[in-house]
Structure 1
Amino acid sequence: MKEKVYNTILQRIISLAYLPGEKISEKNLSEELNIGRTPIREAILQLREEGLIKSVPQSGTYISKINLQKAKDARFLRESVETKIIQESIAKLNEYDLMVLQQIIDRQKLEVRTTHDDMRFFELDEQFHHYFYKATGRDQVWRWLQMSNMQLNRFRVLRLRSKSLSWETLVDEHEELLEAVTEKKTSKATKLISSHLHRMLTEEPTLRQDYADYFE
């Protein structure tokens, strides 16, 4: 039960359903989820240890603001790992894998043209990158990275909400990467994934300007 509550609150934090700095209440969560206070308290404790929730004495419990240093560290770790994953994928991906990756890109394009659902687009973005890990037999590595990606993922979702930054740019970069992988151009694919994952650093000033109150 505690794990279910934890995952529910975590998803709301990552998706920005709970905004950075927003106050939450054990009582309200208990009523909303129709569950006792104990598993909620345990879930909040775990999220506090992970830096996603903070308790202020005599004030209450709040969603932590986005910690940019942790987000940047997670980005650095992911870039270091994912460049190796892409290099491995050059030799391992087959025609079916390439077709699946293209289908994910096509669904991203559809989101851009139609519903413009930021969380659906984010999920497809995750699917695209995750597939390289699965196809190279590195799924466990992806799960390890996800444990350190929480602040980074909040940043990424916020990036999708910004009217100053284009979704099309991300899709174009996915297409370029897939083309390089398909053509087995290892050096080009490595540069493209590094540039793609480096984007956070170039877009940080825009997000800090648009959403100054959301960052520590």
Structure 2
Amino acid sequence: MQLIFREDAYAKSCSAVVASVDERGIRLDRTVFYPNGGGQPGDTGVLRHADGAVRIVDTVKGDGIDDVVHVPEPGAALPAPGTPVEAEIDWDRRHRHMRMHTALHLVCAVLPGASITGAQVGAERSRVDFNLPTGALDKDDIAAALNALIAADTPVGFLWITDDELDANPELIRTLTVKPPRGYGRVRLVDIAGVDRQPCGGTHVARLGEIGMLDVLKIENKGKQNRRVVVALRD
């Protein structure tokens, strides 16, 4: 399956052909739909075809790294394998996820050296958890640092490195519980020049200014050394 979102996060739709249909959902030969993973929710949207349309209520990972399953709404009549479709995501929702996911990379950037213990991207608010001692975070300072980075409007890019290159640079991995997928020969890095570089397969905006201003809503203690930073878009 060709994963168009991996190279172009701004692709809102694509022409595709139904590859298979089963109890899990619909697989296409190519897709713009991002599957749930890395803390980012799966895309929703619609598959249009000559005889109608199917509402997609979630997108999940299948059995392999390039296997994406489009989950239809309950009771929908599903197109047969071989059917041409136009796959279109709910763009406003996706774009907010792109802004939020990129914002969480900035939270990581303003807390250098802190290991990530969890994260969740949302359209309205998002959170990232760190392994840090009590009293180590100030939400006003974090908000000021985040919005200064956003105002600088640095480009956001990505690059691929080999498994061996990742092994030679273990400091690139910030997460404690989730590791980049291995065994496929290469790993995708999100690269915000001079700000943050780490493995990530999610969708992101092209420049930091596109995020818009952020608020740090709260900082919570979630364990002896687990601190949760919750952020929200101002618009």
Q: Which has more helix, going by share of residues?
A: 1
Q: Which has the higher contact order (CA 8 A, sep 6+)?
A: 1
Looking at secondary structure, tell me which structure has more strand per residue. Answer: 2
TM-score, with normalisation over the residues of structure 1? 0.28
